[in-house]
Each structure stands twice: as structure tokens, then as C-alpha cells.
Structure 1
Amino acid sequence: MIAVGQAAPDFTLQANNNQTISLSQYHGKNVVLYFYPKDMTPGCTTEACDFRDFHPKFAELNTVVLGISPDEVKSHDKFIAKHDLPFPLLADPDHQVAEAYGVWVLKKMYGREYMGIERSTFVIDAEGRIAKEYRKVKVKGHVQEVLQFISEELSVK
């Protein structure tokens, strides 16, 4: 299990617009890495749109936002187009990155058990270390909380 202060596990994944993105390419910037269960679902749409709405503030704080779900790139392209998302969404269909971050977990809904993404966010500092982790995220107010943390703890004063 990863922990605050440790190096964030690096990865390379396919993203929207035929991009290939590696975490290491953002060395020198803060990264908000958020894992979400599924494109186009109500909670995931709200979370993505909140990140969209606060995107300029994250950019002012030398911070990039990356979203990861098990959905395929084609689904991400539609999700981004529909909601005008200004940040990349990465496809993790084999959930290898989700497993590396400990967010591929046993879930229960309506009495059935299945494996899936536990909505989680990791703030990675400019040196590539985990600065903060949020697990079992509740969407309402979450993006503002992440922004406040970066502003208070990671911004250059």
C-alpha cells in the first residue's frame, strides 16, 4: 500500500486524443491524480465538472489534473467532448494503475459483490511524492478541499 511521503508509482497509459501519458512527464509540477469508477455516471460527471470548473485555479498553482478510470479511450473522448473537460482522462482497463495505488477494491451494491474503483484522489508534489491521499471520496466539496490543500501546503510562497 502506498503512503504519504512515498514516491508515487509511475505509470504510462493511453489517454484521450491518442495521447500517451506518463506520470513522470509532469516532474516539476504538482499532480492531482483522481480515480473514478465510470464515465457519464452522475457522481463521476459531477466530480469531473468540478475539476473542470476549478481547472484555472489548479493551473495557477502549477498543478495538472489527471483522471483515471477503467473505461476505454473512446468512452473518455465522448465524456470530454460532452462536458468540455480541459484535462486528460486516462484508460486503465486492466486496472494495473488502480491496483498500484490500492484503489481497485471489493465493492458491494444491492447485495452483490464485485471489484471496482474506490473513488480516490492523490495529490503528488513536484518531486513526485504522495503529498496527500483522499480515499472513499464524497464528491460534494471534494475538489475545493483538494485545491485548498495545494494552495496551503504545496504552493510556492
Structure 2
Amino acid sequence: MSVEEGAAAPDFTLPASGGRTASLAAMKGRPFVLYFYPKADTSGCTKEACDFQEALPALQQAGLEVIGVSPDAMGPVEKFAAKYGLTFPLASDAEKQAAEAYGTWVQKSMYGRTYMGMERSTFLIDGEGKVARIWRKVKVPGHAQAVMEAARQLR
């Protein structure tokens, strides 16, 4: 299953860092950035999370919140958030329900071996709960800035 721009964002409710719960319902009426990353505390995921943390004040000024999602269990997610001082919610999608709904749990291949894994993807959800923009197979450098630019156009 995959999500298209302009479609309603698939529903999700996930446990998140800091004892929080991340859900579509909780974000009702507010635009937000939902990004999926493969694994907590790996180099690319750390860079991406820190870039979003750095962009957070500007994103919040534009009226947006950020939610990060990985297939990691809550233990590694909490450690990752604490280690890098990440203040936005990092959610655990251990059952991969959100990843399946957003089409980010995909077949990957490395060294001739195929396996299922998280595709680094970002979704900009507008205040009506519709998917305004999608970035798939994200390359981390400059990505948070590109999301910021797109977020400014939501107004």
C-alpha cells in the first residue's frame, strides 16, 4: 500500500519517546512532518534527526511539529532521543503498521540479498490531515531544509 499526495493521511497511534503517544488524531487541525527512518543511532538516522532538531524552532514558528518513526523498540528509541537531546517525539513502530500504511516498509537489497526494511521517507501532512508532500528514498544532506521550504508554502 502506498500513499499519494492529496490523499488523507493514514491513521496511526504509536508509543513515542518521553512517555508520549504520537497519533494522527492528536495532530488534528495542525500541520506536521512525519518522517520514517531505518534505525536509531546509526550515522544517517542520527544526522537526519539532528537536522530536524536544529530546524525545529523554525518549523514550529511555521506552525509545524515533527514526529520521527522507526521500527525500533521503545528502549533504543528512548536512548537515541536522550543521547542527542531530541525534543520532538520519536515513535516506535515495532509492528510496522504505520510503515505499511505509508508504504515505507519495503523490499530492499544489499550485496545481492533481499530483505524487508524501512525506506527513509518524509510526509508533510497539512492541517486537514491530507498528505501535502512526499519525499521517498530521502538523502539526508539538505533534507530538513527542503521540508522547511515546502512547509512555508502550506500557508
Question: For the superposition of Structure 1 and Structure 2, which TM-score range results when normalised by the shorter chain?
Answer: over 0.9
- Which moved further from structure 2: 35-44 or 22-31? 22-31
Whether contact under 8 Å (2:16, 2:74) holds in the other structure is: yes
Counterpart in the other structure of 1:48: 49
Gap regions ≥5 residues in structure 2: none
Amino acid at match of 1:95: K
> Aligned runs of 1:34-45 on 2, under 5 Å?
34-45=35-46
- Distance in 1 (alpha carbons) for counterparts of 2:114 and 2:102: 21
1:23-70 Cα distance to aligned partner (Å, 9 max, x none): 111112111000000001000000000000010000001101000000
Identical residues among aligned pairs (%): 52
Calculate the aligned-residue CA RMSD, in Å: 0.8
Q: Which runs of 5+ in 1 are unaligned?
A: none
Instruction: For 2:53 and 2:6, locate their aligned partners in 1 and report how far apart those are by CA, in whole Å.
Output: 27
Hey, what does 2:149 align to over in structure 1? Answer: 148
Q: Pairwise mapping of residues 87-126 of structure 1 onto structure 2 (< 5 A)?
A: 87-126=88-127
Looking at structure 1, the residues matched to 104 and 21 of structure 2 have their Cα atoms a distance apart, in angstroms, of 22
Query: Displacement, 1:138?
Result: 0.4
2-structure distance, mates of 1:65, 1:143: 11
For these two proteins, the number of residue pairs brought into alignment is 154
1:69-80 matches, within 5 Å, as: 69-80=70-81
Alignment of 1:81-92 (within 5 A): 81-92=82-93
* Stretch of structure 1 that moved more, 74-83 or 16-25: 16-25
Letter in 2 for 1:43: G
SS in 2 for 1:154: coil
